[in-house]
């Protein structure tokens, strides 16, 4: 980030430059005014001195002519005093005037000397009184006429001076206007540059603040900012970086917390499902109607046949009940699940007495797959209860197991009444939501939903569960499970 001088320095520079330009204009104007005043003052001083000279010459002439007739020393001293005063006033005019005026003053000086000659001649006895008096009058008249012509010259001099001053004033006025225009232009340029130098960084910082407000921490760089704004911009950028880091930390913590909560929820869900499975399994396994029918069938078989069938039925029932009670809240293996299903199917086949047939297609070598207990029995029970039991003709339920690669596929199929497309969609929705069917459809006992949820909790997303069914065409349930260890 480029940093300019401080705002205070820029303000001081603007003030100093503005003051310098203003002082220049004022000095230029003052000089022009002083020249005009000085010219006017020179004219009036020269005019005043010339007027005084004119009056002094009259007095000098009066005292001189008085002396010519009286020959008194007082009159002569008065004459000499006025003559000296006249010389002094000429010297004053010489000091104030220009070269042209100085040249003209030489004539008056000569005339004053010329005026003194008749007096000197009278004192020497070279001239008579009357002749001296006339010469003095004549020569005083010459002095007066010459002085009078100087008034006209002074008027011309004043006019020329005024014209020169006017010309200089006009030139200096143009210079003043140019300086004033330059001052205004410079002020506008400096103000514009100064404003941009402050406003642009502020606008950039405002945009950055709005970005941070909307969660965007990609800030625009603040260019050519005064030192104060540069400090603020750096502090804001550092704060935004810390906020972004804190947000990232909070997001990571939230993600970890969600993972922990999900795992805890899965654990609780698994525990709840196992508990429900245990309760429902016990209810299904100790179902009075089932036990009554089974025991009644065993009793009749024992009464009628008195053969080994009764013994096998009792043995298989005992094995099934033992497995159900022992595995209701634990995991099991695929082989143990199949053995339990074979016992369950044998009992059900005897129960339905020719109305139900079972096909178990399981290879001799199957993987030692770990899985939740009591998964296949609820599916077979649903097939019997909802798919086969309503039929009047012979029904068939098949269990097929196949291993392929690192997966095991289990299929349970019946040729029962099946389900309509609407019923199948509704059942699939219940499974996705993890709910038990409330429509009286294909669910019961531990239930499809419970089996589906326990498989999902146990295997995560690494299992497949699909249901295919058509009305009056039976139902096929396919489960694909990952193999962790082979036997």
Contact (CB, 8 A) for 49 and 89: yes
Q: How far is 188 from 20, CA to CA, in rounded Å? A: 15
- Residue 56's φ and ψ, nearest 5 degrees, are -65, -40
Q: What is the mean pLDDT of residues 400-422?
A: 91
Q: Give the count of beta carbons closer than 10 Å to the beta carbon of residue 336.
A: 15
pLDDT tier at 228 (50, 70, 90 boundaries)?
Answer: low
Residue 219 pLDDT greater than 70, yes or no:
yes
Q: What is the mean pLDDT of residues 418-429?
A: 88
Is residue 216 in some structural domain? no
Q: Which of 143, 169, 204 is the last residue of a domain?
A: 204
pLDDT tier at 180 (50, 70, 90 boundaries)?
Answer: confident
Q: How far is 101 from 46, CA to CA, in rounded Å? A: 10
Kindly report the average pLDDT of the chain as a whole number: 76
- Residue 361's φ and ψ, nearest 5 degrees, are -115, 90
Q: How far is 373 from 391, CA to CA, in rounded Å? A: 30
Residue with tokens 């003209």: 104
| Alpha-carbon torsion (304, 306, 308, 313), positive or negative | positive
Q: How far is 207 from 194, CA to CA, in rounded Å? A: 20
Q: Alpha carbon 360 to chain centroid distance? A: 70
Contact (CB, 8 A) for 466 and 478: yes
Is residue 80 in some structural domain? yes
pLDDT tier at 410 (50, 70, 90 boundaries)?
Answer: very high
CATH number at residue 39: 1.20.1420
- 175 and 292: one domain? no
Residue 435 pLDDT greater than 50, yes or no:
yes
Q: Which domain holds residue 171?
A: 7-204
Residue 282 pLDDT greater than 50, yes or no:
no
**Closest by alpha carbon to 4, among 264, 200, 215?**
200
Is residue 177 in some structural domain? yes
Q: What is the mean pLDDT of residues 57-82?
A: 87
Residue 323 pLDDT greater than 80, yes or no:
no
- 192 and 305: one domain? no
Contact (CB, 8 A) for 408 and 401: yes
More confident residue, 313 or 297: 313
Instruction: For 355-390, write each residue's pLDDT tens digit.
Output: 888 899 999 888 889 999 889 999 998 888 876 777
Q: What is the mean pLDDT of residues 413-423?
A: 89
**Closest by alpha carbon to 168, among 23, 43, 21, 36?**
36
Share of the chain above pLDDT 70, in %: 68
Q: What is the mean pLDDT of residues 309-332?
A: 73
- 160 and 300: one domain? no
Extract the tokens encoding 160. 């020329």
More confident residue, 103 or 486: 103
Contact (CB, 8 A) for 34 and 26: no
- 49 and 198: one domain? yes
- 179 and 301: one domain? no
Residue 265, helix vs strand vs coil? helix
Q: How far is 55 from 69, CA to CA, in rounded Å? A: 22
pLDDT tier at 486 (50, 70, 90 boundaries)?
Answer: very low
Q: What is the mean pLDDT of residues 23-44?
A: 65
Please tell me what DSSP assigns to residue 405.
Answer: T
Is residue 104 in some structural domain? yes
Q: What is the mean pLDDT of residues 312-334?
A: 75
- 413 and 301: one domain? yes
- 181 and 288: one domain? no
Residue 346 pLDDT greater than 80, yes or no:
yes
More confident residue, 11 or 321: 321
pLDDT confidence of residue 60: 87
pLDDT confidence of residue 97: 63
Instruction: For 455-479, write each residue's pLDDT tens digit.
Output: 988 898 899 999 999 988 889 999 9
Q: What is the mean pLDDT of residues 87-103?
A: 73
pLDDT tier at 7 (50, 70, 90 boundaries)?
Answer: low
Which of 75-89, 155-169, 348-362, 368-382 shows the lowest mean pLDDT across its residues?
155-169
Which of 107-116, 132-141, 290-299, 438-447 shows the lowest mean pLDDT across its residues?
438-447
Q: What is the mean pLDDT of residues 405-414?
A: 93
pLDDT confidence of residue 428: 86
Is residue 92 in some structural domain? yes
Share of the chain above pLDDT 90, in %: 11
pLDDT confidence of residue 363: 92
More confident residue, 113 or 263: 113
Please give the helix or strand (H or E) that residue 194 lies within, else none. helix 129-213
Helix axes of 308-326 and 227-285: crossing angle, nearest 10 degrees:
160
**Closest by alpha carbon to 470, among 430, 399, 428, 421?**
421
More confident residue, 98 or 20: 20
Q: How far is 331 from 256, CA to CA, in rounded Å? A: 29
How many independent structural domains does the chain possess?
Answer: 2
pLDDT tier at 267 (50, 70, 90 boundaries)?
Answer: low
**Closest by alpha carbon to 416, among 452, 470, 376?**
470
Q: What is the mean pLDDT of residues 122-143?
A: 83
Residue 392, helix vs strand vs coil? coil
Is residue 266 in some structural domain? no
Q: Which of 204, 227, 258 is the last residue of a domain?
A: 204
Please tell me what DSSP assigns to residue 390.
Answer: T
Contact (CB, 8 A) for 86 and 56: yes
Is residue 271 in some structural domain? no
Q: How far is 340 from 321, CA to CA, in rounded Å? A: 9
Contacts of 361 (CB under 8 A, 6+ apart): 398, 399, 400, 401
Question: Across-strand partners of 358?
Answer: 397
Contacts of 39 (CB under 8 A, 6+ apart): 161, 162, 164, 165
pLDDT confidence of residue 411: 95
CATH number at residue 288: 3.30.565.10
**pTM (predicted TM-score):** 0.42
Q: How far is 165 from 36, CA to CA, in rounded Å? A: 6
More confident residue, 300 or 95: 95
Residue 278 pLDDT greater than 70, yes or no:
no
- 194 and 318: one domain? no
Q: Which of 170, 188, 204 is the last residue of a domain?
A: 204
Q: Annotate 430-469 with DSSP letters as a single string.
A: HHHHT----SSSS--TT-HHHHHHHHHHHHTTS-EEEEEE
- 198 and 322: one domain? no
pLDDT confidence of residue 368: 86
Q: How far is 470 from 185, CA to CA, in rounded Å? A: 91
Is residue 487 in some structural domain? no
Please tell me what DSSP assigns to residue 110.
Answer: H
- 430 and 292: one domain? yes
pLDDT confidence of residue 261: 77
- 179 and 295: one domain? no
pLDDT confidence of residue 151: 67
- 38 and 136: one domain? yes
Residue 434 pLDDT greater than 70, yes or no:
no
């Amino acid at each position: 980030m480029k940093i300019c001088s401080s705002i205070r320095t820029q303000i001081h520079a603007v003030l100093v430059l503005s003051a310098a330009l203003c002082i220049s204009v004022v000095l230029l104007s003052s000089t022009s005014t002083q020249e005009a005043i000085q010219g006017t003052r020179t004219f009036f001083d020269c005019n005043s001195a010339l007027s005084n000279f004119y009056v002094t010459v009259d007095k000098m002439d009066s005292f001189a002519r008085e002396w010519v007739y009286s020959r008194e020393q007082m009159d002569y001293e008065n004459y000499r005093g006025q003559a000296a005063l006249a010389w002094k006033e000429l010297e004053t005019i010489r000091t104030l005037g220009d070269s042209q005026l100085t040249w003209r003053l030489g004539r008056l000086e000569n005339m004053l000397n010329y005026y003194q000659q008749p007096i000197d001649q009278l004192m020497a006895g070279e001239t008579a009184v009357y002749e001296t008096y006339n010469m003095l009058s004549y020569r005083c008249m010459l002095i007066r006429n010459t002085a009078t012509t100087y008034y006209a010259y002074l008027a011309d001099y004043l006019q020329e001076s005024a014209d020169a001053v006017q010309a200089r004033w006009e030139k200096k006025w143009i210079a003043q206007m140019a300086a004033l225009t330059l001052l205004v232009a410079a002020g506008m340029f400096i103000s514009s540059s100064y404003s941009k130098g402050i406003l642009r960084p502020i606008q950039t910082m405002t945009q950055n603040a709005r970005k941070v407000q909307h969660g965007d921490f990609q800030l625009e760089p603040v260019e050519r900012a005064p030192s104060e704004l540069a400090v603020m911009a750096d502090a804001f950028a550092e704060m935004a970086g810390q906020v972004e880091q804190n947000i990232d930390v909070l997001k990571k913590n939230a993600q970890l917390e969600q993972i922990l909560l999900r795992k805890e929820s899965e654990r609780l869900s698994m525990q709840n499902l196992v508990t429900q499975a245990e309760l429902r399994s016990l209810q299904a396994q100790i179902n009075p109607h089932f036990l009554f029918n089974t025991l009644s069938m065993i009793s009749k078989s024992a009464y009628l046949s008195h053969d080994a069938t009764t013994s096998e039925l009792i043995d298989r029932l005992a094995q099934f009940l033992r497995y159900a009670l022992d595995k209701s809240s634990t995991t099991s293996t695929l082989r143990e699940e199949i053995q339990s299903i074979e016992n369950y199917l044998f009992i059900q086949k005897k129960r339905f007495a020719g109305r139900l047939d079972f096909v178990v297609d399981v290879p001799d070598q199957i993987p030692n797959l770990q899985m939740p207990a009591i998964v296949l029995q609820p599916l077979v029970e649903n097939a019997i209860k909802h798919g086969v039991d309503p039929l009047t003709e012979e029904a068939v339920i098949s269990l097929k197991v196949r291993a392929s690669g690192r997966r095991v596929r289990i299929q349970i199929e019946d040729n029962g009444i099946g389900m309509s497309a609407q019923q199948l969609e509704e059942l699939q929705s219940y499974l996705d939501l993890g709910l038990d069917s409330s429509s009286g459809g294909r669910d019961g006992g531990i239930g499809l939903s419970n089996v589906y949820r326990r498989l999902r909790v146990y295997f995560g997303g690494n299992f497949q569960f699909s249901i295919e069914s058509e009305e009056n065409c039976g139902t096929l349930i396919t489960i694909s499970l990952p193999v962790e260890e082979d036997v």
